Amino acid sequence: MNAAPDGVVQRADLEPDALRAALAAREPAAATAAIRIVRAPGRVNLIGEHTDYNLGLVLPAAIDLEVRLALVATDDRRVEIELLDSGEREGFDLDEIPAAADRWIDYPAGVAWALSEAGLPVRGFRAVLGSTLPMASGLSSSAAMELASAWALLDPPELEAHGIDRMRLAQLSQRAENAHVGVSSGLMDQFASSLGRAGSAMLLDCRSLEYREVRLPLDDHALVVCDSGSPRRLGSSEYNARRAQCERAVAVIAREEPAVRSLRDVDLAMLDRFADGLDAETRRRCEHVIRENERVLAAVDHLEVGDVDAVARLFAESHASLRDLYEVSSDELDALVEIATSIPGTAARMTGAGFGGCTVNLVPRAELARFEDTILREYRARSGLEARVLVVEAAGGAGPMA
C-alpha cells in the first residue's frame, strides 16, 4: 500500500472495489456479496471553539477525508481489524472488551462497549480499515474511527429495527470516548462525523441538540485546512484543565443563580457581577466562551449571505480570543493564521482543541495557488516545519456505501 507516516493511504486504495479485494485476499472464505463497506468522515470546525462542553454553539463541517472499513460479519462475537497502511492487526472479544491501552483499537472497542451498554445488539466482524484522514492532527480521526466502527458493529437491519438515529450514534460514540478511552471531549466531533451534509457546515446547539445545515459560500471560496505538523503538546491535560475551569466557574455562579447549569446560561453582565468570586484567568476563559457563542450566530448570518469578509473578521476575533483569553493556540498556529491572512480576502483561524493541529481557512479560489505557495514557504522559514495545505470539500456524514 502507499503508506504515509500518519496512517494515510491513497484515495484509490479506498475505492469500494479495492477495499473489497483487500478484504477478500485476507478472508478467502468470505463471499464477496457479504462484504459491506462503511465510511465516516473527519471534520473541520468553522467557528465555535471550546463551546461544545459548555453547552454552547458549534459550526463544524464533515470533510472529504475519511475512514473506511470493508467488513464481513461473523457469528463468533469477535472483532478483528487490519490496517491497510501498516498491515497491523488487532482484535477483541465482544463479551470481554479490553480496557483502553492507548491504541487505535480502543476506539472500535469503546464503541462496542457503549453500544452494548445501551442494549444494542452488536456483531463480530473481520475488516480492513483504510483512511485518507491524517491521524492525530486535529481533524477528528478518532471520531471518524468511532462512527465507522458503530456502523460496522450494527447490522443495517438491526439499525432499522431499533430505530437508532444518527444523533444517538454520535452520542454513543462520544460516550465511548469519554468513558472508555478517557478523554472528556464534547459532542462536536462525533456530531459532525455522523450528521454532516455535503456542501454545508452544521450548526449545533449543544444544549438543545437542535441542529441545522448552513450552506457554505464555496463558489468563489475554497475550504482549506492547514496542518501545522507540530505535535499536540500537553493536548489532553490542558483540554481537561480548561473544561474543569469552566465547570468551577459555573459552580460559583450557580450558588447564587441556581438556574445556571452551564456557561450557556451566563452572559457578560452576569459574569461581571461575579468578577470578585472568580480569578482573572477563569474570567478570561468564561469571556471567551460567552463571546464565541455570539460569534457563531453572527458567522451563520454572514455565511448565509456569502459575506466572507465579515466572516474573516469573526475568524480573526475567534483566533485572538483562543490565543489570548482561552490560551490554547501555539506559535505555529499563530504563524499559519498570520501568513494566511496576508492573502487578501482570506478568513483563517485555529480549529479544534488547539496546542498544535490545524487551521481552517476560506480562501478566494483565484488566490489558491498563491495561498499554498506562501504558506509552505513562509511557514517553513518561520517555524522550520513543513505545513500541509489540504483543500477539502464539506462532505456527508457516516454510513454504509453502496
Q: Which sequence positions are flagged as catalytic?
A: 189
Residue type (1 letter), 136:
A
Ramachandran assignment for 394, one of left (phi > 0), alpha (psi -120 to 50 degrees), beta (any other): beta
94 vs 149: CA distance, rounded Å: 13
Q: Give the residue among 359, 383, 356, 353 at the shortest CA–CA distance from 371.
A: 359
182's grid cell:
478517557
**52 is a contact residue toward ligand GLA (CB under 6 A):** yes
Residue 242: CB minimum distance to ligand GLA, A: 9
Which region, judged by CB under 6 A, interacts with ligand GLA, from 17-25, 160-168, 180-188, 250-258?
180-188
155's grid cell:
447490522
For residues 50 and 285, which CB has a smaller minimum distance to ligand GLA in the complex?
Answer: 50
Q: Which of 189, 332, 334, 372 binds ligand GLA (CB under 6 A)?
A: 189
Residues near ligand GLA (CB under 6 A), total: 10
For residues 60 and 130, which CB has a smaller minimum distance to ligand GLA in the complex?
Answer: 60
Which region, judged by CB under 6 A, interacts with ligand GLA, from 45-53, 115-123, 250-258, 374-382?
45-53
Contact predicate 394/200, CB 8 Å: yes
**352 is a contact residue toward ligand GLA (CB under 6 A):** yes
Q: Give the residue among 188, 150, 137, 174 at the shortest CA–CA distance from 6.
A: 137
The greatest distance separating any two alpha carbons of the chain, rounded to the nearest whole angstrom, comes to 69
Residue the block writes with cell 504558506 = 375
Residue 54: CB minimum distance to ligand GLA, A: 9
Q: Which of 22, 152, 188, 289 binds ligand GLA (CB under 6 A)?
A: 188
For residues 94 and 142, which CB has a smaller minimum distance to ligand GLA in the complex?
Answer: 142
**196 is a contact residue toward ligand GLA (CB under 6 A):** no
Contact predicate 368/173, CB 8 Å: no
For residues 185 and 200, which CB has a smaller minimum distance to ligand GLA in the complex?
Answer: 185
Which region, judged by CB under 6 A, interacts with ligand GLA, from 1-9, 46-54, 250-258, 387-395?
46-54
**372 is a contact residue toward ligand GLA (CB under 6 A):** no
For residues 116 and 240, which CB has a smaller minimum distance to ligand GLA in the complex?
Answer: 240
Residue 353: CB minimum distance to ligand GLA, A: 3
DSSP secondary structure, 338-396, as one string? HHHTTSTT-EEEEESS-SSSEEEEEEEGGGHHHHHHHHHHHHHHHHSS--EEEEE-B--
For residues 260 and 350, which CB has a smaller minimum distance to ligand GLA in the complex?
Answer: 350
Q: Coil, helix or strand for 208?
A: coil
Residue 49: CB minimum distance to ligand GLA, A: 4
Rounded to 5 degrees, what are φ and ψ at 364? -55, 130
DSSP secondary structure, 211-231, as one string? EEEEE--TTTEEEEEEE----
- The residues binding ligand GLA (CB under 6 A) are 49-50, 52-53, 185-186, 188-189, 352-353
